[in-house]
Structure 1
Amino acid sequence: MATHPLWRPIAIGSNAARQSQRVAFRQTEPGPPQAYDRRWEASFARVRDLVASALGSDRTVLHVGSTAVPGMVAKPVIDVDLLVPDVLDEQAWLPKLEAVGFRLVFRDAIAGDRHRQLTLGEPNTNLHVWQPDAVEPRRHRLFVEWLRAHPEDRATYAEAKASAVRASGAVRYNDAKAAVVYDIYERAFTADPNHAHDPHPRP
């Protein structure tokens, strides 16, 4: 069976499980999903410039998540991927980011990728720090590109978000929409002309 190099098995409940890795809480709560706001792109530019002022302009800083998809319903939080040479060498990058307002909230690994998550109060931001060989940032870019090009999956994902909000209290928001995210990835992998991928239906 052919498998796309970015495929990962579905991980229902993974967001709830990672809460034990939390080291602090975010400055600003996300709030509920809302209609796409054109100002989110300008907010990302502010975050990118802030990271550049702290670490230099040669860092890879990418706008990911739903706020990077025009027309997509999203919580008003800018998701950003930052690549650093060594995530574990925190002294090389963390104090500089904290000095410009970021706060470390998670030290963990996601599907084997070393990961740190920081937040910023204004604009409300999730800054995800990875190493250059990490798979997860590549998955993020593929997901954004797919949603930008496929309005039917934007609608499917928007409904999953609405259902996740309705399920609040029973299951964490990201876990509640994990099945739909997995299915969208499956379609993106199957359609990728650069890699063979046989369907991997979720259990």
Structure 2
Amino acid sequence: MADVEYVTEEPAHNAPVTLEDYNAQWPRWYEREEAKIRGALGERVVLVEHCGSTSVPGLAAKPLIDILLVVPDSRDEDAYVPALVGAGYYLRLREPGWYEHRLVKGTTPNVNMHVFSPGCVEVERMLAFRDRLRARPEERAEYERVKRELAVRTWARVQDYADAKSQVVEGIIARALG
């Protein structure tokens, strides 16, 4: 695994993961967050997209809005992090060994903002996964089945739950990009 530097620690999860049936409000939550991000960053936004399970109509999800943000250089935190902090977010972690990924968090609603630079292959993968689930009900159902089976287990960290889904996620991405 790539080096991860936690900027802000969070307590251990040590519980099952709570999934909710699809909520038609999730896209509106995203739209409000997108407006905040664009207002804070202006032209520094290369791309901002709703991604993750809450971006897929009909899919059960943790009530967490995943946002994909592309900025000119994710390593140049001074160019975007202070503005996002001013808009109510905080820097959670940086992963220099994994596409210079930064995770920025929001709390109301719960937000995971994944920050990358232009040309990063993970941007294409995340959007391909989302679009495949939107377009293929059978794959959306398969993914939801796996999520529900895993969610009832006790997880030390929510990331462990996410990692446990990786086989089905990678299969869907491979078919989307194939």
Query: 1:22 aligned to 2:6?
Result: yes
Aligned twin of 2:68: 81
Alignment coverage as a number of residue pairs: 171
Q: 1:131 deviation in Å?
A: 0.3
Q: Percent identity?
A: 38
Q: 1:87 deviation in Å?
A: 1.1
Question: 4+ runs of 1 displaced by more than 3 Å?
Answer: none
Q: 1:58 deviation in Å?
A: 6.2
Aligned 8 A contact 1:167 1:176 in 2 = no
Which residues of structure 1 form unaligned runs of 5+? Answer: 1-13, 191-203
Q: Larger C-alpha radius of gyration, 1 or 2?
A: 1
Q: 1:57 deviation in Å?
A: 5.5
Query: 1:187 aligned to 2:175?
Result: yes
Alignment partners' CA distance in 1, 2:44 and 2:81: 16
Matching residue's letter, 1:87: S
TM-score, length basis structure 2: 0.87
**Which piece of structure 1 moves more, 160-169 or 99-108?**
160-169
TM-score, length basis structure 1: 0.77
Query: 1:68 aligned to 2:26?
Result: no
Matching residue's letter, 1:82: L
Q: Cα deviations across residues 41-85 of structure 1 (Å, max 9, x unaligned)?
A: 000001100001111156211101111100011111000011111
Q: 1:170 deviation in Å?
A: 7.2
RMSD of the TM alignment (CA)? 2.2
Q: 1:145 deviation in Å?
A: 0.7
Matching residue's letter, 2:170: Y
SS at match of 2:102: strand
SS at match of 1:113: coil
Alignment partners' CA distance in 1, 2:44 and 2:5: 29
